[in-house]
Amino acid sequence: MKILMTGAGGQIGSDLITALVAQGHSIVATDLKPRPSTPEVAWRGLDVVDGAAVDRIIAEEAPEVVYHLAAILSATGEKNPALAYAVNQTGTWNVLEACRTRGVRQLMFCSSIAVYGPGLPDPTPDDVGLRPTTMYGVTKAAGEMLCEYYRAKRGLDCRGVRFPGLISASLPGGGSTDYALFMYVDGVRVGSYQAFARPDTRVPLMYMPDGVRGLLELAAAPADKLTRAIYNIAGFSPRADEIAASVGRAVPGVTITYQPDPLRQGILDSWPRALDDTCARADWGWAPRYTLDQMTVDLVPKIRELLSGGAKLTH
């Protein structure tokens, strides 16, 4: 099947492309800065803010499914709310409209724990009032509602997950959950890391292989089993100092210190401590495979390999 991806050069894209290629799909990967194409993956430049360009590329490529990954994350979005609005809101509108008018069968949307705001039950279910405090969260909440709308009224099979903070052997860009990944990267690279969050910070996190599998399983789920368009999916919810301890077991001698950054700590404190993913489990059989320590065992060698291959992985 032909699949087009927006924001394919980001943190989710690299692992998602690998998984889709392994399933035998042909991929059109788009991003602001396209990479060199390979036999399996055609890279093309695309700014999702440019509606005419989005329409043109979807008309030309005629993909059956679109994975819409392009987004500005929470911390960057607070520094530049206009850019976050343009990419996350206008960009999502442009992609939805192009998919609808050009006959794309399915649109997969990536939402986030950032749609929630302060004062949440623990764990947090799908259906509580959404009161996001960041532009990223506002635009993701609106994107979710647009997906529900297009699914119900415009004949486009939109589906998506609310991702926890995702951790993988590649660098995210400007998220508030990045402290978790940096503990691994800097732990391996330089033996120490000063986290921008308090040691008792606790938010939902997930290892990327589980995240990618969740997205693919939801995409493949029979439509008549789905009771909603957007689903919470949960991995694990350790405190920051529990992540540090897990890193320490795999990288002996690592030193993690804490210097909370008011902007990102404020965002983290407004998010769920843990997600309730009952609906995803019931409707399409979702279950995570990795615990924190299982992720650590898998991830640390991958980071070592990347760094030994000359990857910069700095932030």
Q: Give the integer Cα–Cα distance in Å for 209 and 280.
A: 17
Interaction between residue 265 and ligand SER (CB under 6 A): no
Interaction between residue 124 and ligand SER (CB under 6 A): no
Residue with smaller CB distance to ligand SER, 165 or 260: 165
Question: Which of 22, 31, 113 is closest to 67 using CA atoms?
Answer: 31
Which of 30, 176, 201, 270 touches ligand SER by CB under 6 A? 176
Q: Give the integer Cα–Cα distance in Å for 37 and 28.
A: 9
Which of 89, 133, 170, 177 touches ligand SER by CB under 6 A? 177
Residue with smaller CB distance to ligand SER, 180 or 229: 180
Tell me the residue nearest to ligand SER as measured from the CB.
175
Q: Which residue stretch of 27-35, 124-132, 169-177, 286-294 sits at the interface with ligand SER (rule: CB under 6 A)?
A: 169-177
Interaction between residue 187 and ligand SER (CB under 6 A): no
Minimum distance between the CB of residue 211 and ligand SER, rounded to whole angstroms? 11
Q: Give the integer Cα–Cα distance in Å for 218 and 204.
A: 19
Interaction between residue 175 and ligand SER (CB under 6 A): yes
Q: Give the integer Cα–Cα distance in Å for 245 and 249.
A: 6
Q: Which residue stretch of 35-43, 59-67, 120-128, 173-181 sits at the interface with ligand SER (rule: CB under 6 A)?
A: 173-181
Minimum distance between the CB of residue 10 and ligand SER, rounded to whole angstroms? 11
Interaction between residue 112 and ligand SER (CB under 6 A): yes
Q: How many residues does the chain have?
A: 315
What are 30's strand-pairing partners? 44
Q: Which residue stretch of 93-101, 111-119, 232-240, 274-282 sits at the interface with ligand SER (rule: CB under 6 A)?
A: 111-119
Residue with smaller CB distance to ligand SER, 124 or 177: 177
Which of 9, 143, 165, 187 touches ligand SER by CB under 6 A? 165
> Annotated active-site positions, please?
136
Interaction between residue 181 and ligand SER (CB under 6 A): no
Interaction between residue 96 and ligand SER (CB under 6 A): no
Q: Which residue stretch of 21-29, 98-106, 107-115, 207-215 sits at the interface with ligand SER (rule: CB under 6 A)?
A: 107-115
Minimum distance between the CB of residue 95 and ligand SER, rounded to whole angstroms? 18
Question: Which of 99, 223, 107, 82 is closest to 159 using CA atoms?
Answer: 107
Q: How many residues bind ligand SER (CB under 6 A)?
A: 11
Minimum distance between the CB of residue 213 and ligand SER, rounded to whole angstroms? 18
Q: Which residues bind ligand SER (CB under 6 A)?
A: 73-74, 112-114, 136, 163, 165, 175-177
